[in-house]
Amino acid sequence: MDIDLARTWVQAIGAAVEQHEDHLTQLDSAIGDADHGVNMHRGFSAVTTALDDVAPDTVGALLVKAGTTLISSVGGASGPLYGGAFRAMGRTLDSPEATSREFAHALAAGLAAVQKLGAASPGDKTMIDAYAPALAAFRQRADAGAGLAAAALAAADAAEDGMRATTPMQARKGRASYLGARSVGHPDPGAASTALIFRALAETAVAR
């Protein structure tokens, strides 16, 4: 992962969120506030614009800028959660290029930040149910010597499987938890957007 690839990844997230904005909003309308798609689109549009005006000298500086912009431009829980993840990732990457193992460490820092802020665990029907398996898959491939593309493809597949696995869960955290049993039968919108982020990473890395 180098600076140009990190920038392209974040731009790809913005494009994916724009493409799937209505779908994310539909998912959120079933068990949330019906604003997840709008918020994610607003946030990553702001990130794309913000990155046009900076020339970071490390991968981490770019990701910290992305995270800070998300926090300042997205209301509700999404800004702090996603922004916090990107900032935590960025703080671990202080060079112009990162190996797949170093990037796995960054992803782990991002997950830890989300769990600390959201106080959620796997099985609570949140974005963690996509993020945690994605991290595990990425780390397994990276530890086996795989490059970024192979590790990211495995992570994207795992994130999507994790997102689908939220459908039969009853939410225990967030707005959806207020619905109790009525949250069953709907995939979690945060898990869905997290899967988009990991798929964007895979497609960006493969295209490189």
Contacts of 99 (CB under 8 A, 6+ apart): 142
**Mean pLDDT in residue range 150-160:** 98
Query: Domains in the chain, ordered, with CATH?
Result: 3-207 (1.25.40.340)
Q: What is the pLDDT of residues 31-52, one digit of tens each?
A: 888 899 999 999 999 999 999 9
Residue type, 32: G
Handedness of CA 139, 48, 26, 183 (dihedral sign): positive
Residue type, 168: P
**Mean pLDDT in residue range 22-37:** 92
Q: What is the pLDDT of residues 107-147, one digit of tens each?
A: 999 999 999 998 999 999 999 999 999 999 999 999 999 99
Strand partners, 97: 2
Q: What is the pLDDT of residues 72-118, one digit of tens each?
A: 998 778 899 999 999 999 999 999 999 999 999 999 999 999 999 98
Q: What is the pTM of this model?
A: 0.96
Strand partners, 2: 97
Contacts of 133 (CB under 8 A, 6+ apart): 158, 159, 161, 162
